[in-house]
Amino acid sequence: MKIGFIGLGNMGAPMAANLAKAGHEITGFDTAAPIPAGLTSAGSAADAVRDADVVITMLPNGAILKMVAQQIIPNMKRGAVLCDCSTVDVNSARTVASGASAAGLGALDAPVSGGIGGAQNGTLTFMVGGSGAAFATVSPLFDIMGQKAVHCGDSGAGQAAKICNNMILGATMIVTCEAFALADKLGLDRQKMFDVVSTSSGYSWSMNAYCPAPGIGPQSPADNDYRPGFSADLMLKDLGLARDAARSAGAQTPMGELALQLYEQFVEQEDGRGRDFSAMLPRFVKMNG
């Protein structure tokens, strides 16, 4: 396929590179990041999408997504698909999808889970909202960039799934870190705790796949001085999206709200900015009750 790719930062660059390695013709644009090898560089977002069968965007927030959409939708060929892989609010995703549909385009909101490592290794999970026809068009590309793509429903459903998933992730990582800090103070060996919890009812992705304790379990950012696979800044952003969505929908999410408050304190008042979201563990270790 001919693919336009806009947003070539830590996530977008390896995703685009994997598509290029698979033989697709990729024209890329980013306002600041370098263009990866194997891509053709465009002078503007509008130039990147001309004649593209699929346009993929990976952008920081909903406001930027809507601004970019206004630039590229008029320059996309009728029948092409705009696939946004950013994590944004549901309303922004639906606004962009509506504009794309009015211009005769397919539209998908397809946020990802798996972090930078998943983007590099082509093992992302895509949570996708939009039409079945658009999903079928982009599915071969999801297969290259990831290990799984779930069609969650109509426009906005992908963002809804991502928000719910990451609210769970944020809360479970906090309590996992709390548990390790408590184990330390109780004199329980961390490895012994992992051996029990990872095979018992405390099992979770935060414990088993992304353990926040260095030297315990599979390799994780904890073993790299908490350099981000998924930053605390991004977790704070996603928990904010979950809070806003809950308020808009009239849902009660007290654990999500508390997780948001703790990450807000960690990032904005402590030393969490630029660190992995699992760096909550040393934070709790050095705190006294």
Q: Is 114 helix (H, G, I), strand (E, B) or coil?
A: coil
pLDDT of residue 227: 95
By residue count, the chain amounts to 289
Average pLDDT over residues 222-229: 96
Question: pLDDT tens across 180-214, in order?
Answer: 999 999 999 999 999 999 999 999 999 999 999 99
Name the percent of the chain lying above pLDDT 90. 97
Ordered domains of the chain (ranges, CATH): 2-155 (3.40.50.720), 160-288 (1.10.1040.10)
Q: How confident is the model at residue 258 (pLDDT cuts 50, 70, 90)?
A: very high
Is 82's pLDDT higher than 90? yes
* Catalytic site residue from 162, 185, 192, 286: 162
Residue 280 CA: distances (Å) to CA of 33, 52, 271: 29, 43, 10
User: Does the pLDDT of residue 86 top 70, yes or no?
Assistant: yes
Confidence (pLDDT) at 288: 77
Between helix 232-249 and helix 254-268 the angle, nearest 10°, is 150
What is the mean pLDDT of the segment spanning 65-87? 97
Under DSSP, is residue 245 helix (H, G, I), strand (E, B) or coil? helix
Burial of 211: CB neighbours in 10 Å, binned 0-12, 13-18, 19+: buried
Mean pLDDT of 134-141: 98
For the record, the structure tokens of 273 come out as 């900015």
What does the alpha-carbon distance between residue 47 and residue 277 come to, in Å, rounded to a whole number? 36
Instruction: With H, G, I as helix, E, B as strand and everything else as coil, classify residue 280.
Output: helix
Give residue 289's pLDDT: 66
**What secondary structure letter does DSSP report for 16?**
H
Strand partners, 2: 25
Q: Determine the pLDDT at residue 115.
A: 86
pLDDT higher than threshold 80 for residue 14: yes
Mean of per-residue pLDDT scores for the chain: 96
Q: How confident is the model at residue 89 (pLDDT cuts 50, 70, 90)?
A: very high
Helix (H, G, I), strand (E, B) or coil at 75: helix
Q: Could you give the dihedral angle defined by the CA atoms of residues 246, 105, 139 and 141, in that order, rounded to the nearest 10 degrees? A: -100
User: Which residues face 112 on adjacent strands?
Assistant: 126
Q: What is the mean pLDDT of residues 155-172?
A: 97
pLDDT reported for residue 73: 98
Q: 263-277: buried (b, 16+ CB within 10 Å) or exposed (e) per residue?
A: beebbeeeebeebbb
Q: Is 162 a catalytic residue?
A: yes
- Rounded distance between C-alpha atoms, residue 49 and residue 161, angstroms: 28
